[in-house]
C-alpha cells in the first residue's frame, strides 16, 4: 500500500505525520520516502544510515557546430525556450531544458546530441529497520520532479510505503501523490489552512485519489475545516492538539511517539482507518 502525506501549505505537519506513522508500524513492513527534495528533513528525525548514493541527471542538448546550419528548427520546437538561435550562434539554457529530446529528434542536420547533467542525488538506507529513501535536489536547480520520479522507483511493493510530499499543489506534489492508494492531507484550523486544503482536495479529486484529513493543532482557530470536510464528505481521521511538549520534542528532532509512546496506538489507529477506507473503496462497484 502506498500512502502519500500532503497538504496545501507548508508547516502543517506533513513530516510529523509521516515520521510518526512510520515509527508506529512494524518496522520490517514500512518504507519511508522523503519526496520533499528541495527541503528534505525526515532524516533529521529518523537519523538513517545510508548505504547507497545515486546521481540523478537530465539529458540536455549540445550543438555540433560542424553540422549546424543555424536553421532555427530546434528553437522553434522547444516548448520551454531552452534554445535560442541568434545569427551564427546557438544558445542552450540548461536550467530551462525539460529533457524532452524534441530538438535532437527533429534537427534536420542531426547536429544535436545530448549529455547528462546532474541535478541531484538519491540516498538509500535504513533507520531502525525502516527502509528509507531521501531525494536531494541540487541548489539552484528549478525542477524537482525528475528527482521525485527517481526516488519513487525504489518503492518496494511488499511494504507499506509512506511518501512525504512537498508543500503546495504544484508539479512536485502531483508527481509525489500520483499512483498513491491513499493520501492523507494534513491541515490546520486557520483561514490559510482551509484555503490551501481546498486547493489540495481539488488536486486529488482531479487525480482520482482517495483521501482523508489529519487536523494538526486542532484546538486553535475556528471550525471552518470541520464544516468544509462535512460539506465535501471527506473523513477526518485524526486530530492532534496544540501541545507545547510536542513542539519542544520536534525542535529537538525527537518524534512524538518517542517522546510520548501513548501516541503509538493513535497512529496505529490512523493506519487502520486508512486501510478500512481503502478496502471499502476497492469493494465499491464501479459505475461504467
- Three-state DSSP at 189 gives coil
Cross-strand bridge partners of residue 123 = 53, 134
Give the integer Cα–Cα distance in Å for 146 and 5. Answer: 19
Give the integer Cα–Cα distance in Å for 68 and 139. Answer: 33
pTM of the model: 0.90
List of E strands, 202-268: 211-216, 236-240
The burial of 283, by beta-carbon neighbours within 10 Å (0-12 exposed, 13-18 middle, 19 or more buried), is given as exposed
Write the CB contacts of 3 (distance below 8 Å, at least 6 apart in sequence).
21, 160, 161, 162, 163, 180, 181, 182, 183, 184, 274
Instruction: Tell me if the domain spanning 65-110 has CATH number 3.30.70.20.
Output: yes
* pLDDT, tens digit (0-9, with 9 covering 90-100), for 19-46: 999 999 999 999 999 999 999 999 999 9
* pLDDT computed for residue 221 by the predictor: 81
Supply 129's cell numbers.
Answer: 529497520
What single string gives the DSSP state of each residue in 74-135? Answer: HHHH-TT--EEEETTEEEE-GGG-----HHHHH-TT--EEEEEEEEEEEEEEEETTEEEEEE
* pLDDT computed for residue 9 by the predictor: 80
Give the integer Cα–Cα distance in Å for 227 and 179. Answer: 29
Backbone phi, then psi, for 192, in 5-degree steps?
Answer: -65, -40
* pLDDT, tens digit (0-9, with 9 covering 90-100), for 98-154: 999 999 999 999 999 999 999 999 999 999 899 999 999 999 998 999 999 999 999
Question: What are the residue ranges of CATH 3.30.70.20 in the chain?
Answer: 65-110
What residues in the chain have per-residue pLDDT under 70? 283-288
Q: How many residues does the chain have?
A: 288
Give the integer Cα–Cα distance in Å for 20 and 277. Answer: 20
Quick one: DSSP state of residue 157? T
Cross-strand bridge partners of residue 117 = 58
Question: What are the residue ranges of CATH 3.40.50.300 in the chain?
Answer: 2-56+120-283
* pLDDT computed for residue 284 by the predictor: 61
- Domain at 2-56+120-283, CATH homologous superfamily: P-loop containing nucleotide triphosphate hydrolases (3.40.50.300)
Amino acid at each position: 500500500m502506498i500512502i502519500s502525506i500532503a497538504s496545501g501549505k507548508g508547516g502543517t505537519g506533513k513530516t510529523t505525520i509521516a515520521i510518526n506513522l512510520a515509527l508506529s508500524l512494524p518496522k520490517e513492513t514500512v518504507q519511508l520516502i522523503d519526496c520533499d527534495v528541495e527541503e528534505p528533513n525526515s532524516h533529521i528525525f529518523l537519523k538513517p544510515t545510508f548505504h547507497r548514493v545515486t546521481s540523478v541527471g537530465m539529458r540536455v542538448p549540445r550543438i555540433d557546430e560542424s553540422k549546424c546550419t543555424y536553421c532555427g528548427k530546434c528553437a522553434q520546437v522547444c516548448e520551454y525556450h531552452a534554445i535560442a538561435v541568434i545569427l551564427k550562434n546557438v544558445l542552450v539554457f540548461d536550467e530551462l531544458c525539460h529533457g524532452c529530446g524534441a530538438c535532437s529528434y527533429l534537427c534536420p542536420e542531426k547536429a544535436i546530441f545530448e549529455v547528462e547533467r546532474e541535478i541531484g542525488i538519491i540516498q538509500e538506507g535504513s533507520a531502525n529497520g525502516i527502509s528509507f529513501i531521501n531525494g536531494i535536489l541540487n541548489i539552484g536547480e528549478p525542477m524537482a520532479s525528475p528527482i521525485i520520479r527517481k526516488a519513487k522507483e525504489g518503492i518496494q511493493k511488499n511494504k507499506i510505503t509512506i511518501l512525504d510530499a512537498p508543500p503546495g499543489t504544484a508539479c512536485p506534489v502531483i508527481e509525489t501523490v500520483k499512483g498513491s492508494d491513499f493520501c492523507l492531507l494534513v491541515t490546520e484550523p486557520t483561514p490559510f489552512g482551509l484555503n490551501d486544503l481546498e486547493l489540495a482536495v481539488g488536486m486529488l479529486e482531479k487525480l482520482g485519489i482517495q483521501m482523508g484529513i489529519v487536523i494538526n493543532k486542532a484546538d486553535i482557530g475556528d471550525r471552518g475545516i470541520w464544516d468544509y470536510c462535512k460539506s465535501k464528505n471527506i473523513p477526518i481521521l485524526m486530530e492532534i492538539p496544540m501541545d507545547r511538549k510536542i513542539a519542544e520534542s520536534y525542535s529537538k528532532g525527537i518524534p512524538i511517539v518517542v517522546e510520548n509512546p501513548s501516541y503509538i496506538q493513535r497512529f496505529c489507529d490512523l493506519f487502520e482507518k486508512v486501510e478500512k477506507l481503502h478496502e471499502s473503496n476497492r469493494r465499491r462497484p464501479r459505475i461504467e
